[in-house]
Structure 1
Amino acid sequence: MWFPLTSLHRKSSSPILLLGLSILSQLARSDLVYFANSEYNAGEFGPGPNQSFVTANYTPTQSTISSGYLFTAPRGFDTAQPGPLIYDNDGHLVWKTYLGEPHILTWSGTILGTGIGSGYILMFNSQYQRVARYTTNLTGVTGATLADFHETRITPNNSAVMTAYHISEMNLTAYGGPSTGYILDSVFQEINITSGETLFTWYASENVSPSECHNPLGSGGNTTGSAWDYFHINSIDFDDDGNWLISSRYCFALYYIDGNTGDIIWRMGGTNSSFAMGPGADYRYQHHARWLTKNDTYATITWVFSSSVFVELQWILYRVFDDFGVANVPASRGLYLGINFTNMSVDLIQDFIPFNTTVSQSQGSVQLQPNGNFLVG
């Protein structure tokens, strides 16, 4: 390894010269093949290369862990080999068996530098046999638009819904850009898995103005390669009414969308919120919004509070992962919020702040487990 001379500075120049000659000598000797060499055996050439891994010899108490397997999908700059992992309750990897779910959905494709993906959804059965491969039916100014990795779900109708980022033209003069500009339009689409037929498509550009969102255009939007991602869809959920709940990272808002017309029924959070947000209920850069039990008038949740409280207040509960936190909580956190439709307000029921108060680089989730535990990732 070469070192800068400034890091080896001495009052006399001779040690530096000797060190340089020593390094050159070692480089020249690296071409030699040693056999039963006394210097090597004495360790004069230094230790062999090795790598150590930090582990924790800790196994949680089984009685406090929710039953079932734990699925994770690590990725990021510090993840050398991204991919899905399955653990049992002892923390051991599970590769050959799968219990509880008849199919697994994964995404395969290209991750682009803008934090989005272009690829296909793969469906595997309980024997890890691939039984379906599908993507979106979209064509933009650069050709076919494929499914993004942020979200894919199987609906009660056995259809599939997924996110996509679609390059399209938009007049950006109102935002300091060109009249013929380009955006990464956030789209979600529902298809028939068997036939590939498109059942429903929703475009952010047709429903939400960039003025609602908080990702500035800057110098982008002039070419398809610098298309402006002003909305950034990152999760989809549905309810028994056939409507959709989607999350916009850059608009700091959730949108409840009519499943027939595509119209926005209400907004939660962000610039034009339909609700008054209570103390601690604000969020930014959120991810993974999910309904809990829901009907027209109230919702219940299997956790430590009495469900009758929420029936009386006519609250709908959902969970959301707040990727950035708020001003007085400088960390990512899991949230449980209550929506009161009588006075159109949202209140914080409970939040989950990591022990190291860290900020997630992107993404994350919070899930209620069958035994009442909360799993935050």
Structure 2
Amino acid sequence: MRWSTIGATLFFSLSAFANDWPYLTAATAPFRPPRLEVSKSGTTDPGYLFIGPRGNEQSGTAALIYDEDGNLVYQGPEEVTANFKVQRLFNQDVITFWAGDMMKLGYGYGTVHILDNTYREIYTVRLQDDIVTPDGQPRESYIDLHESHITEQNTLLVTAYNITPHDLTPIGGKPDMFMLDAMFYEIDIATNEIVHSWSAVDHLDKIPLEQSKQGLGEDFGVKENPWDTYHINAVERMDEGYMISLRHYWSGYYVHNNGSIMWQLSGALGEGDFKQDESAGFSWQHDIRIYNHTEQGLVMDLFNNANTPTEQQGATTGLSLAVDLENRSVKALRILSDSDDVVHSVSQGSYQLMSQESQHVFMGYGSISKVKEFDADNNEVFTAQFGVDNQVASYRGYKCPWKATPFWKPVAVVQRPSSDAADVFMSWNGATEYDNWAVMSLPSPDSTDSKVIATQQRTGFETVAHLTGVKSGGYIQVVARRGDVPLGTSDVVGV
């Protein structure tokens, strides 16, 4: 796996922030993930928190899993990641994330990694196509960071950004300028073959340049800094095609399998193919998701940023919309906002319906380093913060049930505070199923004659057992257990 860290202007590359937020440290791992500041005010759905912070120091930038109490559970390799979450593939739970290089306009080129419940990488999804990059350099994969969604057909929906020469005089530019085309692909996960592809610039009749809310600006329109016309950030499989989200058009578009635009649902009142209540308006949105789709209607959920780095319209909210396909009307079902903590997120963000049964919603606030859970009555019941607002970002944030037993061993580190005492530090990065540790003593490194000299309940990411009457020269190993059942054993270490 290739790991790299390249910052992005819109996506907050602010490494100078490094010491402004407390970090977690461990004797058993060289990790420095941000400490979670957790507030719980009601009953929550079960699950672990999945985030991929950026803007903090390099050694803290990785795919991270925490429990609801703010304890670190897993840290992946140092890397800028996006879309880190649990999905279903071939009827099993997997974790997926994007990793790659980010451009200054907030898109990227990278690969999607799919790991099983031992953290073995079982699939690596890449995209190779005729994609032009701002530096003209080829990439091993051109998948953009915004989307990596597994379908029921075990394919992967991804976005891509392609630099395209175009006449921009209709929006006040010049005839020989450059723009970013919004593209999406459906890729067969097992083979990396492209199943379907689509390009927005091929549909100017239905998505004209003049309708983009994103101004051209003085410094944009050249190949190295193209105009970000559309900003595609979500794709979802539909009965007859795909639903896509174009942030810079404040719209979701239903794209038919043949590529044509079936309809546009705009967040701007009076635009698009639907008439919406004022409360159903939105702007600069992310993460459009579709539920309960029938011929009569559907439910559309989305993260309503309502802000950009240059424009503030109002509080960021989560929206669930009832879309009447017969009468072409839209009304708001749910508007999620924490009145005690009003957020203005200028970029990124996610809206996750945790289950149809509980109707709890988990929201990641993108450029604001917070995640929140709301109950079925739209009350905030959980908030966690992992950095200074507008200085640390996680493209999306999720809460997912997850069970994992890593293929690697637990780790034990011994420190000696005195000649007859030893502190044994124990951790097993990514493990979710153990609840206690056994410390075993051995007369030699290769001995099979071991005995339990201490047990300790699990405490967060790292547990320590304080041993007394321990002379140097001996050997120990630790065993992660669930009750009395051993799940993983460390290497032998000297005392």
**Counterpart residue identity of residue 345, structure 1:** S
Structure ranking higher on relative contact order (CA contacts 8 Å, 6+ apart): 2
Check if 1:376 corresponds to 2:363.
yes
Shift, 1:218, TM fit: 2.4
Provide the rounded CA distance (Å) in 2 between the counterparts of 1:52 and 1:163: 33
Check if 1:151 corresponds to 2:136.
no
Give runs of aligned pairs for residues 275-286 of structure 1, distance below 5 A. Answer: 275-286=274-285
Aligned to 1:316: 298
Aligned to 1:309: none
TM superposition score normalised by structure 2: 0.57
Provide the rounded CA distance (Å) in 1 between the counterparts of 2:87 and 2:191: 27
**Counterpart residue identity of residue 165, structure 2:** E
Provide the rounded CA distance (Å) in 1 between the counterparts of 2:192 and 2:36: 46
**Counterpart residue identity of residue 263, structure 2:** W
Check if 1:365 corresponds to 2:381.
no
Structure 1 residues 131 and 274: alpha-carbon distance in aligned structure 2, compared to 1, 3 A threshold? same
Provide the rounded CA distance (Å) in 1 between the counterparts of 2:219 and 2:21: 43
Aligned to 2:65: 86
Provide the rounded CA distance (Å) in 2 between the counterparts of 1:280 and 1:52: 37
Shift, 1:58, TM fit: 6.1
Contact 1:234/1:249 (8 A) holds in 2: yes
**Counterpart residue identity of residue 244, structure 1:** Y
2:47 to 68, 82, 89: 68
As a proportion of its length, which structure holds more strand?
A: 2
Provide the rounded CA distance (Å) in 2 between the counterparts of 1:51 and 1:293: 44
**Structure 1, residues 224-273: CA drift from partner, whole Å, max 9, x if none?**
1021111000111123x142111111111111111x20111100014741
Provide the rounded CA distance (Å) in 2 between the counterparts of 1:99 and 1:191: 18
Shift, 1:87, TM fit: 2.3
Provide the rounded CA distance (Å) in 1 between the counterparts of 2:97 and 2:36: 29
**Counterpart residue identity of residue 92, structure 1:** N
Provide the rounded CA distance (Å) in 2 between the counterparts of 1:282 and 1:79: 38
2:259 to 257, 262, 271: 262
Contact 1:167/1:227 (8 A) holds in 2: yes
Structure 1 residues 104 and 51: alpha-carbon distance in aligned structure 2, compared to 1, 3 A threshold? closer
**Structure 1, residues 333-362: CA drift from partner, whole Å, max 9, x if none?**
100111122321111112112332121131
Shift, 1:274, TM fit: 0.4
Contact 2:114/2:122 (8 A) holds in 1: yes
Q: Which runs of no fewer than 5 residues in structure 1 stay unpaired?
A: 1-49, 298-314
Give runs of aligned pairs for residues 10-159 of structure 1, distance below 5 A. Answer: 53=22, 60=40, 64-76=43-55, 81-95=60-74, 102-141=93-132, 142=136, 144=138, 146-159=142-155
Shift, 1:93, TM fit: 2.1
Structure 1 residues 285 and 222: alpha-carbon distance in aligned structure 2, compared to 1, 3 A threshold? closer
Check if 1:344 corresponds to 2:342.
no
**Counterpart residue identity of residue 123, structure 1:** I
Contact 1:177/1:221 (8 A) holds in 2: no
TM superposition score normalised by structure 1: 0.73
Shift, 1:222, TM fit: 4.4
**Structure 1, residues 267-290: CA drift from partner, whole Å, max 9, x if none?**
001474100121211111000010
Provide the aligned length of Structure 1 versus Structure 2.
308
Provide the rounded CA distance (Å) in 1 between the counterparts of 2:232 and 2:193: 22
Provide the rounded CA distance (Å) in 2 between the counterparts of 1:232 and 1:283: 16
Shift, 1:200, TM fit: 0.9
**Counterpart residue identity of residue 295, structure 1:** T
Moved more, 76-85 or 285-294: 76-85
Q: Percent identity?
A: 28
Provide the rounded CA distance (Å) in 2 between the counterparts of 1:93 and 1:173: 52
Aligned to 2:174: 178
Provide the rounded CA distance (Å) in 1 between the counterparts of 2:22 and 2:148: 34
Q: Which runs of no fewer than 5 residues in structure 2 stay unpaired?
A: 1-18, 24-34, 76-84, 365-495
Aligned to 2:469: none
Provide the rounded CA distance (Å) in 1 between the counterparts of 2:65 and 2:120: 16
Provide the rounded CA distance (Å) in 1 between the counterparts of 2:176 and 2:121: 42
SS at match of 2:181: strand
Provide the rounded CA distance (Å) in 2 between the counterparts of 1:290 and 1:52: 33
**Structure 1, residues 104-142: CA drift from partner, whole Å, max 9, x if none?**
111111111111111111111111111222222321343
As a proportion of its length, which structure holds more helix?
A: 1
Shift, 1:59, TM fit: 6.6
Aligned to 1:10: none
1:244 to 242, 245, 251: 242
Provide the rounded CA distance (Å) in 2 between the counterparts of 1:140 and 1:57: 41
Moved more, 98-107 or 225-234: 98-107
2:341 to 350, 356, 363: 356
Contact 2:157/2:236 (8 A) holds in 1: no
Structure 1 residues 173 and 108: alpha-carbon distance in aligned structure 2, compared to 1, 3 A threshold? same
Provide the rounded CA distance (Å) in 2 between the counterparts of 1:95 and 1:153: 22
Give runs of aligned pairs for residues 192-207 of structure 1, distance below 5 A. Answer: 192-207=188-203
Contact 1:68/1:100 (8 A) holds in 2: no
Shift, 1:181, TM fit: 1.8
Contact 2:38/2:70 (8 A) holds in 1: no
Check if 1:161 corresponds to 2:134.
no
1:189 to 185, 189, 209: 185
